[in-house]
Structure 1
Amino acid sequence: MKYRDLLPSVLIGAVASARSMSPMGALAAAHLAGRSTPGRLLLLKQPLFTAGALMMGVGELFGDKMKTAPDRTVALGLLARVMSAGIAGAALAPKGRDRLGGVIAVATAVPLAYLTLAGRKRAMRRIGQTRSGLVEDAMIVCSAVAIVLAVSRKR
C-alpha cells in the first residue's frame, strides 16, 4: 500500500472539518446510486440510516445560515466531525486499512475545523453570513461528491 492510497481519507476529513454531515450525505447518495466503497460501510445497509444521513446533510446546509448556528468547534460540532470523518474515512480507505483511514480522517478533520472556521469568519466579514455559507457549501458539497465518486465503484 502506498501513502497516496489514503488520500481520499485525508480529503474526506477536510470536508468534515467544514460540514460535518457532508461526508455521510455523499456516501449515502453514492449508495443509493448503486456505488460501493473499498472499505465496509455496514450502516448504509440500513435504509433508515441512509435516509437519515441524507436528511442531516441537507439540514446542515440550511442550519448553517442561521444567525444562531454554533461554531463548528463547539464540543458537539467536533464530536459530529469525529464520527462522520471516522466513518467516511474508513469507508474510503483501501480494503483492510479501514481503521487507519478512519484515524487519518479524524486527525485531519479536527484541526482543520479551526482553520476552516477562521476562514469562514473572514469571509463573513467581507460578504456576509449567507453568501459566505453558500460559497462554502458549494465547495464542500462538490468536494465530497468528487471524492466519493473517485473512490467508489458501481456494484
Structure 2
Amino acid sequence: MKRSLLFSALIGAVASARSMTPMATIATARLAHRDTPGDLFLLDRPLFKYGALAMGVGELLGDKMKTAPDRTVFLGLLARVMSAGIAGAALAPHGREKTGAALAIATAVPLAYLTLAARKQAMASIGQTRSGLIEDALIVSAGAALVSLATGPQHGSGAITRP
C-alpha cells in the first residue's frame, strides 16, 4: 500500500492548536515501541523524547493561565513550525520527509489563526479554562489517533509488522 502525506498534513492541523502535542505524541509512540514511516532523529534521543513529553504537558497546563500568549505570536508560531516540521517528517513516507515537514508547516501556520479565532469565540462563551480543556481533549485525542494510525510496531520488537 502506498503511503500518502495525509498524516503529515493532519499533524500540522494538530500543531495549529497545540504546538507541542505533535512531538509529544510521537515521543509517546516511540516509548510504546512504534516505528514512524519517515526517519526520526531527534525524538529517538532520550533528552529530546522526554523533553517533548514535558513540553507537551507544560503547554497543556500553561494554556489555561490568564497570561498565556496567543498562539500567533512569533514564538508560538516558531514552536508550531518546529514541532509540525519534525512530526510531519516523521509521519511522511520514507524518502519524502522534507515534503512531509513542509506540508505540516504549511498547514499549521495558517490554521493557527483559525484555531485562535475559534478559541477566542469559545472563551467568550464558556471561559478560558473550560474552552482550553475542551480544546485539549479534542487536539490531544486527534494527535494520538493520527500517530497511532500512522505508526507501526518497531522492527525487532517481536510484534507483527504491517505491510
TM-score category (smaller protein)? over 0.9
Q: How does 1:61-140 map to 2 (within 5 A)?
A: 61-140=60-139
Match of 1:44 in 2: 43
What CA distance in whole angstroms lies between the structure 2 residues aligned with 1:62 and 1:154? 31
Structure 2: runs of 5 or more not aligned: 155-163
Structure 1: runs of 5 or more not aligned: none
Q: Which runs of 4+ in 1 moved over 6 A?
A: none
CA RMSD across the alignment: 1.2
More helix by share: 1
CA positional deviation for 1:45: 2.2
Task: Report which stretch shifted further, 42-51 or 87-96.
Answer: 42-51
Match of 1:25 in 2: 24
Q: Under a length normalisation based on structure 2, what TM-score does the superposition of the two structures give?
A: 0.92
Q: Under a length normalisation based on structure 1, what TM-score does the superposition of the two structures give?
A: 0.97
Structure 1 or 2, whichever has the larger Rg, is 2
Identical aligned pairs, as a percentage?
70
Q: Can you list the C-alpha shifts for 1:69-88, whole angstroms capped at 9, x where unaligned? A: 00000000000000000010
Q: Can you list the C-alpha shifts for 1:6-63, whole angstroms capped at 9, x where unaligned? A: 1100100000000000000000000000001000111122111111000000000000
Q: Is the partner of 1:5 in helix, strand or coil?
A: coil
Q: Is the partner of 2:5 in helix, strand or coil?
A: helix
